[in-house]
Amino acid sequence: MGNILSAARTDAMRIISSGGFQTDITITVKSVTNTIKGMGLVHHLSFDTDGAPVNSKQAHITVSEKILTDAGFTVRNSNNEVYLINAIVKFADFSGVEKSYTVKENFADDTLGVIFLMLGKYA
């Protein structure tokens, strides 16, 4: 592994989990629940199929695969693909109110070991 790629992986994990933007995120995958550090964001701007901006609540988190596996989560399925669909995610907004979401889509960056999870409302 090249020195620059190794440094990029280290930097990505540091930025996500301890770079000043991190938040406590509680995740439940099947029967495992644990709290990890990651980046959790909610915003209200999206784009329609024509590329025009629309108001739409978008929530997502970015986490390190290594931190998830170290916390006891099974991250990959039998095909060795990241699969966290339907996991339950909780994190607090700016006022400290915890919100709950379910994972609707997951996107893995297999180069850096970062996972981006698109969230939907959870009752």
| 116, 107 Cβ separation under 8 angstroms | yes
pLDDT tens digits, one per residue of 39-59: 998 877 777 889 887 877 789
pLDDT at 65 over 90: yes
pLDDT computed for residue 49 by the predictor: 87
Backbone dihedral region of 113: left (phi > 0), alpha (psi from -120 to 50 degrees) or beta?
left
